[in-house]
Amino acid sequence: MKRYEDLSPSLRCIMTPGPVEVDPRVLRAMSFPVLGQFDPEFTGIMNETMEMLRELFVTDNQWAFPVDGTSRSGIEAAMVSLIAPGDRVLIPIFGRFGHLLHEIAERCGAEVLTLEKEWGCVFDPEEVIAAMKSFKPDIVAIVHGETSTGRVQPLAGIGRACREQDALLIVDAVATIGGVPVETDAWLLDAVIGGTQKCLSIPSGMAPVTYNARAEAKLLKRKRVERGLRTGEVQVEALDFVRSNYFDLGMLQDYWSPQRLNHHTEMTSMLYALREGLRLVLEEGLEARHARHALHEEALVAGLTAMGLKLYGDPQSKLTVVTCVLIPEGVDGEAVRTMLLERFGIEIASSFGPLKGRIWRIGTMGFSCRENNVLRLLGALEGALLRHGHAVPAGLGVQAALDVYDAKVR
């Protein structure tokens, strides 16, 4: 019989745009005993998690809860619940995850209009608003922080335009939540999806979502209660009922409401993880957390620049928590990444589609976003580049980052 060894994953320094290192307090919370899903102790934890999510999303929305599944489960739940077949959906695309929104909207049977921006840039909100005026969408779906290109899309004005045209605005804030400001109410966002495995430093497996009363009104019209849960009252069912059971937000909100109408079996250990991760965010404070992410970005960028490396993309729209570096001419990007992982225990990311082989993507997110990680990465990257025959000015990268830290922190 084959013998399987004890699991002993290596301790890595993870500097990718997710998943990133998990805070030890979150890991500890995941090892706590499982409670039954209707145990008042557990439903109390569900309620506290909702309260903390409202603070994270900066919203007074009634609904803020996690969808169980990876981040795209939250995106899919929002889209499948809010997009009825035949709805007109406008999707501005500036990287891989905009294409994901397109893909999901098509599967919802929407009539989709996409706007495409050259990768490395973002839209002027006025371009989106102009397209809304001619296309008259029912829904606008857009990515806030695009990890594939390291860009952040300004959302100012798009929410207001959606209100004026009675469209709903769905925002993928998977990469930005907990790392850079996401102001659900102030920016008039109707549905927002966050991610756990990035700036929240929780493992992948839950997708926090929030949506307002405008969004709720639409999804309740399309809600369908599962047959085995019906109480005998006559069900008036919309013809365009939500075509997914798992992702029907109307049913999910019943489960998260005092009614506790059973849907799936809540992921106990993941919920403990989310609760602890949110507690960490709120203890640090949103503003302080955003400032921390900005500081380590500054040190990283100073170090990379001092090494003579060039950053990819329009600097105006750089996403704080993802730094994209052009792989220097003649350097085998994958060989450098492999060396970083195997010899230094550091992981950085490659890229997708048109950027495959052209850039490295370095994340400074959540628990991974700290001084010793940034310094370690800069030193290791210098070593790996020299080892691959690329001349970098020895020592300058780490010194430039140390200068930032010495000036700002000490």
Q: Which residues bind ligand PLP (CB under 6 A)?
A: 18, 70-72, 97, 143, 145-147, 172, 174-175, 195, 204
Structure tokens at 159: 């929410």
Nearer to ligand PLP, 12 or 224 (CB): 12
Nearer to ligand PLP, 146 or 248 (CB): 146
Nearest approach in angstroms of CB 172 to ligand PLP is: 5
**Least distance from ligand PLP to the Cβ atom of residue 200, Å:** 12
Instruction: Compute the Cα dihedral for 9, 10, 15, 21 and give only its sign.
Output: positive
Q: How far is the CB of 145 from ligand PLP (least distance, A)?
A: 6
**Own/partner pairs for 355-358, CB < 8 Å, 24+ apart?**
355/119, 355/148, 355/149, 355/312, 355/324, 357/327, 357/333, 358/312, 358/326, 358/327, 358/333
How far is 395 from 385, CA to CA, in rounded Å? 12
Is 155 or 380 the residue whose CB approaches ligand PLP more closely? 155
Residue 39: DSSP 8-state: -
* DSSP assignments along 105-154, one per residue: HHHTT-EEEEEE--TT----HHHHHHHHHHH--SEEEEESEETTTTEE--
- Tell me whether residue 89 or residue 385 sits nearer to ligand PLP (CB atom): 89
| Cα separation, 169 vs 43, whole angstroms | 30
As measured in angstroms, the least distance from the Cβ of 38 to ligand PLP is 28
Query: Which residue, 281 or 321, is less far from ligand PLP as judged by CB?
Result: 321
Minimum Å gap between C-beta 400 and ligand PLP is 28
State in angstroms the smallest separation of the CB of 70 from ligand PLP: 3
Name 262's Cβ contacts closer than 8 Å, sequence gap at least 6.
37, 229, 255
Are 245 and 229 in contact by the 8 Å Cβ rule? The answer is no
Which DSSP state fits 325? E
User: Using CA atoms, how far apart are residues 67 and 269, in angstroms rounded to an integer?
Assistant: 14
Beta strands in 189-290 (DSSP E): 191-194, 206-211
Give the torsion sign (CA, 68, 71, 76, 79): positive
Minimum distance from CB of 66 to ligand PLP (Å)?
Answer: 12
Closest contact distance (angstroms) between CB of 164 and ligand PLP is 27
- Nearer CB in complex with ligand PLP: 71/184: 71
- Specify the residue, 158 or 375, whose C-beta has the smaller distance to ligand PLP: 158
Q: Is the Cβ of residue 71 or residue 368 nearer to ligand PLP in the bound state?
A: 71
Rounded Cα distance, 142 and 157, in Å: 13
Number of H helices, E strands in the chain: 13, 13
175/336 with CB nearer ligand PLP: 175
Minimum Å gap between C-beta 84 and ligand PLP is 23
* 179/397 with CB nearer ligand PLP: 179
**Shortest gap between Cβ of 163 and ligand PLP (angstroms)?**
25
CB atoms within 10 A of CB 387: 12
Q: What stretches of 233-319 adopt beta strand conformation (E)?
A: none
Q: Which is nearer to ligand PLP, 79 or 400 (CB)?
A: 79
Partnered with residue 185 across adjacent β-strands are none
Min separation Cβ 100 and ligand PLP, Å: 6
Tokens matching residue 176: 């930005």
For the chain, what's the residue count? Answer: 410
